[in-house]
Structure 1
Amino acid sequence: MAKAVLTISSKNYSSWSLRGWLLCKIAGIAFEERLLPIEDASARAELLLLSPSFRTPALDHDGLHIWDTLAIAEYLAEICPSAGILPADRAGRSHNRSVSGEMHSGFANLRSALPMNIKAEFPNFRIWSGARPDIARVVQIFRECLDQYGGPFLFGARPTLADAMFAPVCSRFATYRVALDSDAAGYRDHILNWAPMVEWAEAARVEPDEMEELDVEF
């Protein structure tokens, strides 16, 4: 299989880049990273939550250019069916696509109130009341999936699209010390200790601080 190129932006701030990168890791494909300069307009639009449509991450493979996280996921599921990006059974696939789509298009209050920032720690952060229903819904999704499929990932023993979609939320929960029940906290910790997440976080922590103004603009 030809080596792919995945275009991403900041590892510290970009939740969408993380999702695309995790999907490539789950798929097991060989890929190179192309880092989009912070000055690029589309990168800044994503990181500052100013655009509803993101062109990063983007995957170039076999002469094709695929953008949008869900499109990347579906493409990788097609070319790497044994990787388990989507569950094998139709019911599981439908459920996985549903919760992943909900993450893709929703939770705007959570995104704006708890922006991704892997380097930071806010132990006494006061969560805006508008974000609390989003947090409660995420926890409900965690609980329902773990109960139905037995964990430790959302759809069983192997990571899937849903885990890639919710992994940045686990990072946010850690950054802002969001109080969780034992099941949700256990899943958060499992994701944060998952080898690809550890690799990404280590790279994020040594990333140059090129976007100090984000602290103001968020």
Structure 2
Amino acid sequence: MQDTEIHPALAALLREHRSHLLLVIGNKNYSSWSMRPWVVMKAFGIPFEEVRIPLGQPDTTSRITAYSAAGKVPILVADDITVWDSMAICEFLADQFSILNLWPEDIAARAHARSICAEMHSGFSSLRFDMPMNIRAELHGKGKTLGAQADIGRISEIWEDCLTRFGPNGFLFGDFSIADAYFAPVVMRFRTYGVSLAPALQAYADRVCAHPAVAQWMQEATAETESVPWHDARSEG
């Protein structure tokens, strides 16, 4: 499913599984973890209520812990079920709305997609630290430490492999999936810090930015007015 139209069977699925979904997120400009499930839900037309809690404010922690004791965003509340952590949320959505094929339908492609998302979820610490997501900023040439460059190299390998083996329609596994949403914050980082990519990989990054769900997130991130000084300082350092 490539746009934000609601699948004909989705209303029935919502009635059957969960009548109301609420997604708690941080600032769209900064919160890469929040971006992932938000983009998935928008891309596949899954209706939800959004609660945005700005980060770095005096009441941020208390507002987040009102939804989850883990104290971090994103958080999905589905009636009496609370799911936290972006990967757990995406897996929950894939289970609840299996008809939408949030993961690739082919079992080999699906296993590969889960593997690269798990690698993204647990790795690339240098890229995260040295090039934190800051969509509003233009920081070309910043953050290119040896560790970040090694992470960029590995991500480039992942993208090239997936696009070659699975991506005839231009996304990592053909149609837009959780995998593309999971790497969307990386695309934001590459854009902010002016990372140079091979032409085919830059074309992929451009397709991700042009996807309606990602484009909406970027537009709303740019419109935000809050600033998180420690985050901005780390971005520019």
TM-score strictly above 0.5? yes
| 1:210 and 2:227 aligned | yes
RMSD over aligned CA atoms reads 1.9
| TM-aligned CA distance change 1:159 to 1:93, over 3 Å | same
> Structure 2, unaligned stretches of length 5 or more?
1-13, 65-69
1:141-175 CA-partner distances (Å, limit 9, x unpaired): 1000000012411000x211111110000011011
| TM-aligned CA distance change 1:165 to 1:54, over 3 Å | farther
- The within-5 A match list for 1:61-210 is 61-125=78-142, 127-149=144-166, 150-156=168-174, 158-210=175-227
- The within-5 A match list for 1:8-47 is 8-38=25-55, 39=57, 40-41=60-61
Measured in 1, the distance between the counterparts of 2:79 and 2:104 equals 25
| 1:57 and 2:74 aligned | yes
The answer to whether the 8 Å contact 1:85/1:161 transfers is: yes
Task: Give the deviation of 1:82 after TM superposition.
Answer: 2.0
SS at match of 1:34: strand
> Structure 1, unaligned stretches of length 5 or more?
45-52
| 1:3 and 2:20 aligned | yes
Measured in 2, the distance between the counterparts of 1:54 and 1:159 equals 30
The number of residues matched between the two structures is 209
Which of structure 1's runs of 4+ aligned residues deviate more than 6 A? none
SS at match of 1:213: helix
| TM-aligned CA distance change 1:172 to 1:43, over 3 Å | farther
User: Which amino acid in 1 is paired with 2:205?
Assistant: R
Give identity over the alignment, percent.
39
Structure 2 length normalisation: TM-score? 0.83
| TM-aligned CA distance change 1:206 to 1:110, over 3 Å | same
Structure 1 length normalisation: TM-score? 0.90
| TM-aligned CA distance change 1:211 to 1:126, over 3 Å | closer
1:24-76 CA-partner distances (Å, limit 9, x unpaired): 123421101101242223899xxxxxxxx873111111321111111111111
Measured in 1, the distance between the counterparts of 2:141 and 2:22 equals 39
| TM-aligned CA distance change 1:74 to 1:97, over 3 Å | same
SS at match of 2:24: strand
Deviating more after overlay: 33-42 vs 112-121: 33-42
